[in-house]
Chains A and B, each alone.
Chain A
């Protein structure tokens, strides 16, 4: 983390150049002297050394050579001046000399640490806690497939052999033997102002920082009602001056000018007691408010919300917290943690934290905000590690009850399933037979239809022929009758 190292600073370079170029007569450097007295100018031995070993010849014939050499020396000095300005400007807490100073503290620890990878991302730093490949790390950033890279560079696929939900610690297992575990012991939690060194497999510590807040419980987010209370001018209570839309207060129909006199059985004397009473609660808690509205007294129950969930527009703070920082997924709910300002990233969690005596005093567990990295003190780590090593927190052990319930349910289902299976088979074969019959009938049906059509066509044809013949018969009969009557007439002469 050499934050400011060797970053080019154009402004300072310009300034440096300007100071040399604009002030040739001043004592700003040999370049000035050259401009004034080119022939006599000479770089000192020191200048020459600084100028990448260029040597200076003072001989009269070698004036231009000497000038060139001095110029080289001068440029070297200028470059150093610019670098020095850069350093001066950028002397930061994480400068190399300071990291070098604490390096000896990290040296005995870093061989016992590992890098935890998930694909191409480093998702944590691990600590070797068992010779057969047990690695302790932070849980919330883990994603399969997981690999552990030991300090010696060897890389192994890892499985999660346990997760301690309360502390967010995870135990990984890699297939290797003969590792040197780091012996973790109970150490006092560091005080405010104590310097801390965070260690990874690198020989240089990841970062150093200072305890900003000693160990405390890190609760969930602030329990939120959605009212803005002020002190009541006369008497006790907190008067509501605003109700936030979509807040629990809004849902419970609290109104502006309502006076809160109790939360459960805690008397609310003023706005401050209202805040401090709420501070003892967590989101999700149900509370009953006693409200004075006009002359009446109401009791209103409501469920406290998570402030960040109600106010989606809280981005301003979120945005600042994320500026220049990669935060951890889990940032709250730790039984005890101390807060420091080492500015670690989410992928550096799980790393051991040393005090200035080189003792491991904690394990980094969450980059919870721009100014806050959280570390678990050893008194929290050790019992968690013990539970993890016992195997009781292995995913299978952890989910034991649920797995058992599912097994029972599966058995019941298979019992139900068995008769259904044969019945299904029976129905299937019957269905097949019936389907065949249906096909057959359909075929017959088609055939009959065709025959019916043919017969119908024939009938139509015959009917037509019949009609034609009948017509012919009728015509011929008529002709016959006419001829017969004509013949009769002619024979009888009956006219």
Chain B
């Protein structure tokens, strides 16, 4: 089970989302071949303006030169001196990443984003910004609030872009991060995650986490950086402050979280800038949830497909089409192949009565 990493904005009510199908989708993604990237990053970077200020190959700890190759090769440090050297890099890189990281507020939701150009292009997760032309407020690292407009999204991969709204004559520039490459990263590579877990907290500020790349493919990367709602869209960086991913989803295991590889953004850059919907993320959704390990309806989303079908809290779902339902996992199995706009038959028990209701699946 995985949830979009997003948090309610200041506690404003957001309809509860039924994640049944999102979970199924994720399982599907995970069962794709997990290609382990074999080649270490080369160290030669494209030379962009003000790109990689933290150039580390060796560091000096207490007057002693320490090799830092392990940071990029995905190996473990072999001495405490190396670990101490990494600690210093964590500190410096966090400082730098913070300056380019923004909190994104849209309607009742919040997420994180990262500025990747001095004129204010921001990368984030598609589910943070919804669709092109949506208006958002972004809060910079120093608390400055600015308006921004959503550009392109790829809902399937969960990549999205915004642009800070600037008047014609406004030539302000913003601190930004360089987009590195994500296709050549070795598993085990040391990475850092930054974001606003739980949403903007002025008394706390941004939170940094450190972890390693567990696995990845062209569409997603998994790390053991801990993430939670509100981090969505935030930057995953290497130890040179190079942007390698954008936080997307969390796993049920604390130590397995999912990021969109940065190459996805690079490859679709022009479409994102042009404000295109590259692929739709809508997945079929039923609009009810059941009590843990039972078939009893726990809640029904207002005006959702289940509500429209007449399902009520307390109903017991006996069958969906021909599949017997005992618990949530049965529902997942029964609805795995349903499509948006398809109608399914739910046999339910309400008190003594047994009813058959038609539910038209919607997209969400």
Cβ 8 A contact of A216, one of B76, B197, B203, B231: B203
A92/B255 in contact, CB under 8 A: yes
- A4-B214, A91-B214 given; name 14 further pairs at CB < 8 Å: A11-B34, A97-B78, A101-B79, A212-B207, A213-B204, A311-B11, A313-B13, A321-B198, A339-B204, A341-B209, A341-B225, A369-B228, A371-B227, A372-B197
Indicate whether A320 reaches chain B with its CB closer than 8 angstroms.
yes
Q: A249 CA to B173 CA in the complex, in Å?
A: 39
Q: Which of A288-342 contact B (CB under 8 A)?
A: 307-308, 310-311, 313-317, 319-321, 323-325, 339, 341
B229/A323 in contact, CB under 8 A: no
A320/B215 in contact, CB under 8 A: no
With CB as the reference atom, state the residue of chain A lying closest to B216.
A89
A356/B80 in contact, CB under 8 A: yes
- Stretch of A192-200, A254-262, A474-482 lying at the B interface: A192-200
A92/B76 in contact, CB under 8 A: no
A317/B78 in contact, CB under 8 A: no
* CB of B282, distance to nearest CB on chain A (Å): 19
A279/B228 in contact, CB under 8 A: no
Q: Which of A101-115 contact B (CB under 8 A)?
A: 101-102, 104-105
B212/A91 in contact, CB under 8 A: yes
* CB<8 Å pairs between A and B, sample of 19: A3-B253, A3-B255, A11-B33, A11-B34, A12-B34, A85-B36, A91-B188, A101-B79, A105-B80, A193-B91, A194-B87, A195-B90, A217-B203, A316-B3, A317-B198, A324-B255, A369-B198, A370-B226, A371-B197
* CB of A353, distance to nearest CB on chain B (Å): 14
Chain A interface residue count, CB cutoff 8 Å, equals 64
Known contacts A101-B77, A228-B10, A316-B229; decide if A371 and B90 are in contact (CB<8 Å): no
Q: Mark B326-339, 1 if CB is under 8 A from A, else 0.
A: 00000000000000
Q: A279 CA to B33 CA in the complex, in Å?
A: 47
Residues in chain A near residue B83, CB distance under 8 A: 98, 101-102, 195, 356
Indicate whether A219 reaches chain B with its CB closer than 8 angstroms.
yes
* CB of A202, distance to nearest CB on chain B (Å): 19
Indicate whether A272 reaches chain B with its CB closer than 8 angstroms.
yes
B7/A317 in contact, CB under 8 A: yes
Residues in chain A near residue B187, CB distance under 8 A: 88-89, 91
Cβ 8 A contact of B254, one of A98, A191, A324: A324
Residues in chain A near residue B229, CB distance under 8 A: 316-317, 320
Indicate whether B8 reaches chain A with its CB closer than 8 angstroms.
yes
B13, B145, B197 — which one has the most chain A CB atoms within 10 A of its CB?
Answer: B197
Residues in chain B near residue A313, CB distance under 8 A: 13, 16
Residues in chain A near residue B16, CB distance under 8 A: 313, 315-316
* CB of A186, distance to nearest CB on chain B (Å): 21
A371/B255 in contact, CB under 8 A: no
With CB as the reference atom, state the residue of chain B lying closest to A373.
B226
B209/A212 in contact, CB under 8 A: yes
Cβ 8 A contact of A88, one of B17, B31, B36, B250: B36
Known contacts A324-B253, A371-B197; decide if A90 and B207 are in contact (CB<8 Å): no
B212/A92 in contact, CB under 8 A: yes
Q: A15 CA to B208 CA in the complex, in Å?
A: 36
Indicate whether B94 reaches chain A with its CB closer than 8 angstroms.
yes
Q: A97 CA to B1 CA in the complex, in Å?
A: 30
Cβ 8 A contact of A228, one of B12, B33, B188: B12
Known contacts A244-B13, A311-B13; decide if A91 and B74 are in contact (CB<8 Å): yes
A193/B202 in contact, CB under 8 A: no
Cβ 8 A contact of B202, one of A192, A209, A276, A324: A276
Cβ 8 A contact of A89, one of B8, B204, B215, B225: B215
A314/B79 in contact, CB under 8 A: no
Indicate whether A141 reaches chain B with its CB closer than 8 angstroms.
no
Which B positions have Cβ atoms within 8 angstroms of A? 1, 3, 5, 7-8, 10-14, 16-17, 31, 33-34, 36, 74, 76-80, 83-84, 86-88, 90-94, 143, 145, 187-188, 197-198, 202-205, 207-212, 214-215, 224-229, 231, 250-255
A314/B208 in contact, CB under 8 A: no
Which A positions have Cβ atoms within 8 angstroms of B? 3-4, 11-12, 15, 85, 88-95, 97-98, 101-102, 104-105, 191-195, 209-210, 212-213, 216-217, 219, 222, 224, 228, 242, 244, 272, 275-276, 279, 307-308, 310-311, 313-317, 319-321, 323-325, 339, 341, 343, 356, 369-372
Known contacts A11-B34, A91-B214, A210-B209; decide if A316 and B197 are in contact (CB<8 Å): no
Q: A121 CA to B103 CA in the complex, in Å?
A: 40
Q: A85 CA to B86 CA in the complex, in Å?
A: 26
A272/B254 in contact, CB under 8 A: no
A323/B12 in contact, CB under 8 A: no
Residues in chain A near residue B143, CB distance under 8 A: 272
B202/A275 in contact, CB under 8 A: yes
Residues in chain B near residue A210, CB distance under 8 A: 87, 90, 208-210
Residues in chain B near residue A90, CB distance under 8 A: 214-215
Residues in chain A near residue B12, CB distance under 8 A: 228, 242, 244
Q: A275 CA to B200 CA in the complex, in Å?
A: 11
Q: A242 CA to B225 CA in the complex, in Å?
A: 36
Residues in chain B near residue A15, CB distance under 8 A: 33
Q: A209 CA to B224 CA in the complex, in Å?
A: 11
Q: A104 CA to B11 CA in the complex, in Å?
A: 45
Q: A321 CA to B209 CA in the complex, in Å?
A: 16
Q: A89 CA to B16 CA in the complex, in Å?
A: 35
* CB of A11, distance to nearest CB on chain B (Å): 7
Residues in chain A near residue B224, CB distance under 8 A: 3, 92-94
Residues in chain B near residue A370, CB distance under 8 A: 197, 226-228, 250, 254
A212/B74 in contact, CB under 8 A: no
With CB as the reference atom, state the residue of chain B lying closest to A95.
B76
Residues in chain A near residue B92, CB distance under 8 A: 193
Cβ 8 A contact of A307, one of B11, B226, B251: B11
A92, A244, A343, A369 — which one has the most chain B CB atoms within 10 A of its CB?
Answer: A92
* CB of A211, distance to nearest CB on chain B (Å): 8
Q: A85 CA to B36 CA in the complex, in Å?
A: 9
B76/A97 in contact, CB under 8 A: yes
B208/A192 in contact, CB under 8 A: yes
B34/A222 in contact, CB under 8 A: no
Residues in chain B near residue A88, CB distance under 8 A: 36, 187-188
Cβ 8 A contact of A317, one of B8, B80, B211: B8
A343/B210 in contact, CB under 8 A: no
B8/A316 in contact, CB under 8 A: yes
Q: A317 CA to B3 CA in the complex, in Å?
A: 10
Residues in chain A near residue B5, CB distance under 8 A: 320
Q: A375 CA to B13 CA in the complex, in Å?
A: 32
Residues in chain A near residue B91, CB distance under 8 A: 191-194
B17/A316 in contact, CB under 8 A: yes
A343/B255 in contact, CB under 8 A: yes
A369/B197 in contact, CB under 8 A: yes
Residues in chain B near residue A311, CB distance under 8 A: 11, 13
Residues in chain A near residue B202, CB distance under 8 A: 275-276, 279
B250/A193 in contact, CB under 8 A: no
B14/A324 in contact, CB under 8 A: no
Q: A325 CA to B251 CA in the complex, in Å?
A: 12
* CB of B252, distance to nearest CB on chain A (Å): 6
* CB of A188, distance to nearest CB on chain B (Å): 14
Q: A91 CA to B214 CA in the complex, in Å?
A: 6
A324/B251 in contact, CB under 8 A: yes
